[in-house]
Amino acid sequence: MSRVATDSQHPAALMSRTRTGRRLPPATTLALAVGLLAVVAVASLAIGTRQMPLDLVLGAFTSLVPGDADQLVVRELRLPRAVVGIMAGAALGVVAALLQGATRNPLADPGLLGINAGASLAVVAAIAFLGVASPFGFIWFAFAGAALAAAVVFAIGSTGASGASPAKLALTGAAVTAATTPLVTLLLIRDDGTLLQFRFWSVGSLSGRGLESAAVLWPFLIAGLVLAAWLAGRLNLLALGDDVARGLGVRLGTTRVVTAIAVIVLAGTATSLAGPIALLGLAVAHAARGLVGGDYRWVTPLAAVLGAVVLLAADVIGRVVVAPAELEAGIVAAIVGAPVLIALVRRTKGGGL
């Protein structure tokens, strides 16, 4: 088979013919999503237990008034939350898109592949044995735990002649979660202080995350996004099957190794920033494919923007639904993601995926 596909053979063209429907042009959809992200970001700065008018939000950055309490709330509390939410949401969206594309598994998600469980074990160990007590202190342990769990899942799930099949990765992820959960529980029940510290991190939240966390982790996010951009065209070819992709010049081993590195970096970054937020990436990756089709050159950036939109929106909703208290963003995101997972399982059962 020729190593160069003609225009009519290009996977993006093949997928667009396979799934017909009325869609906006991908560039328009992405531009609208970016505009929606800007709106949600402004809402994140303005909405909370104390409502801020837009002119005050703007003045917090353009007309500083020393000692003004409202401006301090915007700059010191809400801006870091917005920045962390954008970074973590983008990472979650992209990592789910990469996992689903590389494994051809519609249910692939960091939470379902044991990555969140690995991060949780590392954070609990840091609290219990090292006395770590701040979100900034958690980040390296969460990153290391997520990275180690992802590496184990990919290493074990990729063994054998069939490589990293969806079933093997899902089973390996379930095994990692099953192995780490009792250890987490054992560490928590032996010390009430560890339980108190861990429970705020474990539900997934943007509260208490400062710009120092974002400053440490942004290079990892950029590196992961660059790798995702490099992988996008190759994921299009993988969607046609391993044999076709190999015939079109894709080095399957290299592609899967780079995918694993990108997943480790992005999942570790997201979990370090916001805790183990479940199902958000799963939902936004499928939403991105529904909006622009199966071309990962568009799915990946759209998943990044939609992930940031959904996580920020979840944080804003959590501030107002139980005001003056707060509902963590991870809980709100799970409420959104759970119906998506149920719908996917029903479609898979019926052969729709």
267-298 pLDDT per residue, tens: 888 888 888 887 888 889 989 998 998 899 99
- The answer as to whether 4 is a domain residue is no
- The answer as to whether 10 is a domain residue is no
Residues 125 and 141 sit within 8 Å (Cβ to Cβ): yes
- The answer as to whether 1 is a domain residue is no
CATH number of the domain at 137, please: 1.10.3470.10
pLDDT at 309: 95
DSSP character string of 64-117: --TT-HHHHIIIIIIHHHHHHHHHHHHHHHHHHHHHHHHHT-TT--TTTTTHHH
| Domain extent for 89 | 17-349
Nearest to 154 by CA among 261, 237, 228: 261
- The answer as to whether 115 is a domain residue is yes
pLDDT at 33: 96
Neighbours of 94 (CB within 10 A): 34
Q: Please, where are the H alpha helices in the chain?
A: 11-18, 26-46, 54-62, 69-72, 79-103, 115-130, 135-157, 166-189, 192-202, 211-238, 242-247, 252-274, 280-292, 296-320, 329-349
pLDDT tens digits for 175-194?
998 999 899 888 888 878 78
Neighbours of 75 (CB within 10 A): 17
- The answer as to whether 337 is a domain residue is yes
| Strand, helix or coil for residue 197 | helix
pLDDT tens digits for 73-132?
888 889 999 999 999 999 999 999 998 888 777 777 777 778 888 988 998 888 888 888
Q: How far apart are the C-alpha atoms of 280 and 307, rounded to whole Å?
A: 7
- The answer as to whether 12 is a domain residue is no
| Strand, helix or coil for residue 145 | helix
Would you say the pTM of this structure is higher than 0.75? Answer: yes
DSSP character string of 175-192: HHHHHHHHHHHHHHHT-H
* Distance set, CA 93 to CA 197, 318, 348 (Å): 27, 20, 21
Q: What is the mean pLDDT of the chain?
A: 82
- The answer as to whether 97 is a domain residue is yes
pLDDT tens digits for 12-60?
444 444 444 578 899 999 999 999 999 999 999 999 878 888 888 888 8
pLDDT at 245: 80
If one counts the domains in the chain, the total is 1
- The answer as to whether 7 is a domain residue is no
